[in-house]
Structure 1
Amino acid sequence: MNTFLTSLQTFLPTRLTWPIAGLLFTFVILLAIIIARYIVTRLEHRDEELESSESTDTDIATDTDIQRPRADSARDAFVFNIENDYLGSDASRFVSRYKRGSIIAVITLVVSILCASLLVSRPSTINPQQANNSSRDIILCLDVSGSALAYDRQIIAAYSQLVNNLHGERIGLSIFNSTSKTVFPLTDDYSVISNQLNHAYDLLSRVQTQESIDAMSDEQYQEVNDWLHGTQNVENSTSLIGDGLVSCTMMLPQLENSSARNARSASIVLATDNVPSGKQTFTLDEALQIAHQARINVDALYVGSNQTSNSQEAQDMRTAIEANGGTYVDLNANDTVEDIVRDITSTKSGPQLHDDSSSLIDAPGLIVLISIIALLVFVIAAGRIRR
């Protein structure tokens, strides 16, 4: 049914996109017809003048010849009167057919010109659409403190598969320890997103265990250090989760822009073990309140060992996330990355705002059909006139 309605919309125009172009086209066509008619009329007059001149010359030449006796007028000469010939039934039918054909030819030619003018004006219609693909902003918020770093490779793998399941959403990545660093801001350039996540995955694979850390070359160590640079600017503090979450929230335009909140849904996927160390500017609960007030949904991935899944920190994190409408996912409860991705996509980060939009589409169907019919009728009528 929707396909039929869309086809009908493209067939029936409701407006002209370039009306001035259509008017100019009509003016040019009319001007060309007037000029052509003027030229033909001038040529006909010139031919008549030439014939008249030749006839005069012939009469003068005849007068100088020897005069021959002429027959006595009406009795010897046959005079043809075309009005008498019109009285015949065949001639009458021919004249009527000629007049009808001429009228039809003129009308269909005018219709064809008007249709051409309308087509130049680009007939179009409004096509309302409901677009769901590009109405979300998602920030991937990753804890890179020492206690979480060994598990971050698995998180990046889950993020990568999550991105593969998205279409048109804007994605950003921020990492934090005592301070935050934006790896890449919100973007819908999926080649950039994939390249950045793959690069992060390769780097984090080197810090999975102490053995892999010890096996790094100086160059590899420097690459990891460069990627983490800017996340440890506060001394004697690590994993300041509340501050890190606020920094992720600040990457979203919905935090301060109410129109952005109405236009796009906003989500943060927070991955942490919830083990802060040091004085935080914002606690996790305070950071969640800030996000909640801006209608930014926060879902959480708990990273840590099996032994810590039931720790007080994990329980506090679950309670805080769920109290603010988010979903809590324990990585230790999932056997594979696919399970993690399934859990993420089932969270509140999944729903999208319906972005009702309209687009202007060409709708020349009806006018093209009328012009084709008019041209066919014109060709038939002109052919009958010639016969």
Structure 2
Amino acid sequence: MALIVWWAPLVWIAAAAVVIGAVLWYRRRHRASGGIPVAHRERLTALPAYRRAMGRYRMLVAGFVLCLVALIAGGAVLTARPATVSLVTPDLNNRDIVLCLDVSGSMIDYDAVVLDVFQELATEFTGERISLVVFNASAVTYFPLTADYDYISSQLERLSGEFDDPSAPYYGGTLIGNGSSLVGDGLASCVVRFDEGTTDRSRSVIMVTDNFVAGEQIFTLAEAAQLAADRGVRVYGINPGDATARDYLADLATEFETSVLTTGGAYFALDDPSVIPAVVERITSEQASILPGRPQVQVTERPEPWIWLSFAGVLGLSFFGWRVKR
């Protein structure tokens, strides 16, 4: 057992010493003087009833003192926060996931909803490394591959707050190029964001776009999808404007769906209620080995026995105090 606040028991000991010293000093200063001498008191103290009464009194006082010690000891250890310290090595899933988000003008109305979807997706994974890449005319890595889910959550919240700010930092890096919403280039940029290319890892891109391209691309969407397939990357497409595209621009939705399917991935509409569990199920069904993570020091507080000891001390003090007064 380790004590997080190791000096707390020293404070209790010092306080107890001060209180005991003050009580002894007070009793010495106010000790009764004089008195009435009693002859042959040994006859009284030799009586069996007197001996029994004194024996009970001493037992009650001893019990009172013992419960007081238990209460002080329990309180002292509790304020020191007892804990067990161990070194653990968490298991990490050998999967990498790049969230690939189109932040062009036609996507602005959807992006806040998309980030909520990403937040939910992040909570469904355990140990996978996740990255976020945003793109328009060019792509910017908002955060690299990491398994720090607190960091991932904070970055997604930060990005959500930046959507209402035209001068947000990430926008400046996404406007370098001829046009906007260059989906093929955006997907290609997301595909090449994977590191550790020689290791046996599952690699997936979750791409959110309406596939409304305006400008000259280096990669068409089909070519970027083929690049993903060649590198063993599966693309899962989420189209916020699926219904609109199929009504007015059917070829955009069809091209997006066809391209992601060639990588072994899947296509979803954003308003599909099953999109999150479906994407998670598809990604987690991919074969991936378990890797040992970085060793971490784990501190687990264990106050339970000391709480019970303090509680027993309080009950004991109440009982023995009542009995002594009688």
Structure 2 length-normalised TM = 0.58
Paired amino acid for 2:189 = S
Equivalent position of 1:141 in the other structure: 100
Equivalent position of 1:174 in the other structure: 133
Contact 1:267–1:349 (CA<8 Å) still a contact in 2?
no
CA apart distance, 1:227: 3.0
Contact 1:158–1:341 (CA<8 Å) still a contact in 2?
yes
CA apart distance, 1:221: 4.1
Structure ID, larger Rg: 1
Equivalent position of 1:24 in the other structure: none
CA apart distance, 1:306: 3.2
Distance 1:347 1:302 in 2: 17
Distance 2:291 2:125 in 1: 19
Identity in percent: 33
Equivalent position of 1:249 in the other structure: 191
The answer to which structure has the higher strand fraction is 2
Equivalent position of 1:92 in the other structure: none
Match of 2:259 among 316, 320, 325: 320
Superposition CA RMSD, Å: 2.6
Equivalent position of 1:150 in the other structure: 109
Equivalent position of 1:265 in the other structure: 202
- For each residue in 1:32-71, what CA deviation from the matched residue of structure 2 results, as whole angstroms up to 9, or x when unmatched? xxxxxxxxxxxxxxxxxxxxxxxxxxxxxxxxxxxxxxxx
Equivalent position of 1:79 in the other structure: none
Distance 1:191 1:319 in 2: 35
Change in Cα spacing, 1:247 to 1:356, as seen in structure 2 (3 Å) is closer
Equivalent position of 1:232 in the other structure: 175
Change in Cα spacing, 1:161 to 1:246, as seen in structure 2 (3 Å) is same
Distance 1:146 1:304 in 2: 13
Change in Cα spacing, 1:350 to 1:160, as seen in structure 2 (3 Å) is farther
1:346 aligns with 2:281: yes
Contact 1:267–1:298 (CA<8 Å) still a contact in 2?
yes
Q: How many residues align?
A: 205
The answer to which structure has the higher helix fraction is 1
Match of 2:121 among 162, 185, 188: 162
Paired amino acid for 1:248 = C
CA apart distance, 1:189: 1.3
CA apart distance, 1:271: 0.6
Contact 2:236–2:266 (CA<8 Å) still a contact in 1?
yes
Contact 2:226–2:262 (CA<8 Å) still a contact in 1?
no
Equivalent position of 1:307 in the other structure: 244
Structure 1 length-normalised TM = 0.49
Structure 2 portions without partners, runs of 5+? 1-88, 293-326
Match of 1:150, SS?
helix
Structure 1 portions without partners, runs of 5+? 1-128, 207-219, 358-387
CA apart distance, 1:351: 2.4
CA apart distance, 1:305: 6.2
